[in-house]
Structure 1
Amino acid sequence: MATRTRRAERREEPLSRERIVEVAVELLDAAGEGGLTFRALAERLATGPGAIYWHVANKSELLDAATDALVAGALEARDARSPKSPRDGIRAVALGLYDAIEVHPWLAVQLATQLSRSPWQPVTLRIFESVGRQVGALGVPENSWFTATSALLHYILGAAGQNAANAVSGRALGPGSSRAQFLDDASKTWEALDPDDYPFTRAVAAQMRDHDDREQFLAGVALILTGMTAAPPSSA
């Protein structure tokens, strides 16, 4: 009886698209895209699937809405910081997306999918516009804007996605394992490689062991910006 009462109380709460997206993000965070079903949503929201379909047509639309909500939040947080220069603006966008993907690893796949299959979607356009405006403000020649912005965007999403995937894999190693231990083991393996076949890999083994993911990510952004402004790429 108590359970039915609680469910009845939950049903009295107004069901909105925003609330549906919020719960969808929770399900995606917990179990990835496979965990997002309308049945699971209905159970979590204590409602029927029909009520959800009134607000969202299908799973694809729901994934797009969840992706859009997180990206909008990341970029709004960047805007609130009022960057003092184009470099600061790009760094802020990069960090906003990095942090969002780190918290929500599934987001990397959704962004990559949209970027490659439907670059006209609002999410892709919003990110491209945020980065592109700053690239233009850096003084990059207009005929190189597309190439420069695309390269920077691919790095940001790719590196952030890889770091998020590494974190997920690290958690899957189980108790007693840690990132530091994993990197130490990998570094020792690199150091034991044949020096004639892998001289470079052996030389950077210690750097790999001691690196910080976030600092490495930002260093990559800075490296691209330095090259972009020193010798802007030509689209011709």
Structure 2
Amino acid sequence: MAARTRRTERREEPLSRERIIEAAIGLLDTAGEGGLTFRALAERLATGPGAIYWHVSGKDELLNAATDAVVAGIMTADTNDTAAATDSADTAAGTTPQEAIRGLALGVFDAIEAHPWIGTQLARAPGQSPLLRVFEHLGRQVQALGVPHAAQFTAASSLLNYILGVGGQNAANTQTHLARQPGTNRTEFLDTTSAAWADLDPDAYPFTRNVADQLRDHDDRTEFVAGIDLILTGITARRQVAAD
């Protein structure tokens, strides 16, 4: 009788597409893309693979949905539902195009660091909605900057490529470091690398030796934003030249 009562009180949350995507994100974070199988997902959700197939058709759709969920969260946090916002609404809220671009860039950077598989998925499917969300936001801000139409694609693409490239490389560096040197922290790793740079052949690597101390003391997010500002400076300068 007691056992029957326990079964009655134990109520499982209904399986939904949202629950599946949430579980898939957790599995991707811990096991990577290779660990995302419908069998592993079914075990995590305490259900059968067939029930999951009722909501998603396969792994590709699941990866895209998981990526889109993370990217949609970035947009909501950065611009209070940018997907539905207009440039005029951004201006009314007191956000400049430069600030909006920096905010989105940092959001994507942090998301890739927290979910390293995101960078690969965004780069792999340029025509799908997750990447298009980011590109659309960047494009709107490029337009708001007054960039001539003929240069808008180049400006938005340059920003996008920088964000994905640096964000993905930062995540890859972190993963590689943890795999090769478990137990060491970032400070120890940078101290060791900086010392190795400072000890290079001065004739072959004069520049690298000269910035070895900057490597040791740098902050990844600060350097990332500095790169965004360099691109924005170039975009602004080209806009001014075109206007003259």
TM-score, normalised to structure 2, is: 0.87
Alignment of 1:1-236 (within 5 A): 9=10, 12-80=12-80, 82=93, 84-115=95-126, 119=127, 121-172=128-179, 173-175=181-183, 177-232=184-239
Cα-to-partner distance string for 1:168-225 (whole Å, 9 max, x where unaligned): 22332212x1111111111111111111111111111111111000100000000100
Q: CA deviation at 1:83?
A: 5.6
Q: CA deviation at 1:13?
A: 2.1
SS class of match (1:163): helix
Cα-to-partner distance string for 1:33-78 (whole Å, 9 max, x where unaligned): 0111000111111111111000000000000000000000001111
Q: Give the stretch that moved more between structures: 66-75 or 196-205.
A: 196-205
8 A Cα contact 1:67 1:110, kept in partner: yes
Cα-to-partner distance string for 1:2-29 (whole Å, 9 max, x where unaligned): 8xx67x946x421100000000000000
Amino acid at match of 1:198: Y
TM-score, normalised to structure 1, is: 0.90
Amino acid at match of 1:101: I
8 A Cα contact 1:101 1:108, kept in partner: yes
Q: Give the stretch that moved more between structures: 189-198 or 76-85.
A: 76-85
Paired with 1:178 and 1:23, the residues of 2 have a C-alpha distance of 29
Paired with 2:231 and 2:13, the residues of 1 have a C-alpha distance of 49
2:87 corresponding residue in structure 1: none
- Percentage of pairs with the same residue: 61
For the structure 1 residues 9 and 34, does the alpha-carbon distance in structure 2 shift closer, same or farther, using more than 3 Å as the test?
farther
Q: Which runs of 5+ in 2 are unaligned?
A: 81-89
For the structure 1 residues 23 and 230, does the alpha-carbon distance in structure 2 shift closer, same or farther, using more than 3 Å as the test?
same
Paired with 2:147 and 2:235, the residues of 1 have a C-alpha distance of 7
Q: Which runs of 5+ in 1 are unaligned?
A: none
Which consecutive segments of 4 or more residues in structure 1 shift more than 4 A? Answer: none
Paired with 1:197 and 1:185, the residues of 2 have a C-alpha distance of 20
Paired with 2:24 and 2:10, the residues of 1 have a C-alpha distance of 21
Paired with 1:93 and 1:25, the residues of 2 have a C-alpha distance of 21
Q: CA deviation at 1:163?
A: 1.2
Amino acid at match of 1:152: L
Aligned length: 225
8 A Cα contact 1:83 1:89, kept in partner: no
